[in-house]
Structure 1
């Protein structure tokens, strides 16, 4: 009985505590330093253009939610740059996992 409770606690901890973004981008001086996940080419081009105009440092994480995608920025990225990235984010460019049926 105790092992069932232990397994349940481990599963709950795994679902809540582990950070699982769909896309993770690390910026350094306005250029893209590291990418984990699928980065659409048009979005990459727009990010490079924004970084060329404004040199910034930080990290962007994209999370998949039921209602769409949520962008989370580190505090190092200025608010004006965050808004420009939100404006060019391709909401239709990401593929959903599995098939959507009504």
Structure 2
């Protein structure tokens, strides 16, 4: 019985504590140094254009939530550049992994 509680605790820890973004992009002086996940082409083009015009360093993460996607930017990215990235973020560009029924 103890092993069931231990396994449940490990599963809960894994679901809550582990950072699991849909997309993670790391920038260093306006260049992409690390990219993990699906980076939609139009969003990638716009973000790289912003990075070319005003180089910055930091991290961009996209999370899937029940209500849609959530964009998280690191604090190293200046506020003006954060707003420009939020303006080009495609909220509909990231698809959910499960099948959704269409309501009529």
TM-score normalised to structure 1 length: 0.95
Per-residue displacement from partner, 1:26-53 (whole Å, max 9, x unpaired)?
0011122211001111111101110011
Cross-structure match for 2:96: 96
Shift of 1:25: 0.4
Cross-structure match for 2:10: 10
After TM superposition, the runs of 4+ consecutive aligned structure 1 residues lying more than 2 A away are: none
Q: Paired residues, what number?
A: 102
1:24-63 equivalences under 5 Å are 24-63=24-63
Contact 2:69 2:94 in 1 (8 A): no
Unaligned runs of at least 5 residues, structure 1 = none
Distance 1:46 1:33 in 2: 17
Contact 2:64 2:70 in 1 (8 A): yes
Unaligned runs of at least 5 residues, structure 2 = none
Shift of 1:74: 1.2
